[in-house]
Amino acid sequence: MGSLFPLFLLISFSLSSPTFPKIQAQDIKSAPLLDLLIRDYTFKSYYKYFRTGSVHTVHAPVNLSGIGIDAAKFRCGSLRRYGAKINEFHLGKGVIIHPCIERVMLVRQNLGHNWSSIYYDNYELSGYQLISPVLGLLAYNAGDNKNSSDPFEVGILAGKNPITIDFGNTSMLDNPTGLIPLCVSFEHDGKVKMANQVAPNVCAASGHGHFGLVIESPMLPERKRASRWKVAIGSSIGAALGAFLLSLLLIALFVKVKKKARMEEMERRAYEEEALQVTMVGHVRAPTATVTRTVPVIEHRYRPSPS
């Protein structure tokens, strides 16, 4: 995910100061950082007259414009006995808050299509397209005093019935492919989980987190698969052709060497069987004969006169 340095500064500042730093929207690149900002503004907007069990809308500041925030405060026991509904999220009976403190603040987020891109950029969603805004449900400890120490996140665990998220009333992007959307859950460890819908535009979850609807983007994966297959087939054909040519070259060299050796052997045997003596003059084979001297013959019978 994004750099942890802004997150570290954010946590350090929040622990040392009652006011929260002003951060511009373009500086928010991390999903955990965005969650901390929403948490801070939610608790800053909390007033004692907020009724327990009632859902209250939190008006986001300018730097978080486009995000819908709702919050509700519950007692852990009441939440477990009766469940709750916060806009798109429905928590059935038996839901468990851990660690269970006396009261808990549930914060619902609707990131809209602009802010949802943070999750698309920080999670591996290649080959898929978000068609719904990312919806988040987080829980924090809540005391009677709004100025108490900084709230920490607590877990939500569904009971016998899962937590359902209804995307039916959210602004959905067009789905020209006609594919059935899949539910996606963005985990804290940076991974994503895909699951089928339990009803049209309804997803199920076992706990808190961020969720959305995605469809496959067929063009990009097919191109990738096609290019990979082309590379694999081309490499295989090239390797086979290279091996074939190399084998032909080796066979030709072997035949040539064998033929040369055979010719040399035949010539050697021919030399041994020849009656005529043969000698080598340079690189030329030439026959030779026994050396004889010619007897001189006087052409005219002439005798010198006696002196």
What is the phi/psi pair of residue 55, to 5°? -90, 130
Please tell me whether the overall predicted TM-score, pTM, comes out greater than 0.85 for this model: no
Determine the pLDDT at residue 138: 95
- 42-52 pLDDT tens trace: 888 876 557 78
Measured CA to CA, the distance from residue 136 to residue 247 in angstroms comes to 64
Measured CA to CA, the distance from residue 210 to residue 219 in angstroms comes to 27
Measured CA to CA, the distance from residue 56 to residue 128 in angstroms comes to 34
β-bridge partners, 204 = 164
Measured CA to CA, the distance from residue 12 to residue 192 in angstroms comes to 29
Measured CA to CA, the distance from residue 10 to residue 129 in angstroms comes to 31
pLDDT of 242 > 80? The answer is: yes
Determine the pLDDT at residue 203: 96
The percent of residues in the chain predicted with pLDDT above 70, rounded, is 71
Q: What is the DSSP string of 89-132?
A: EEE-TT-EEES--SEEEEEEEE-HHHHTHHHHHHS--TTEEE-S
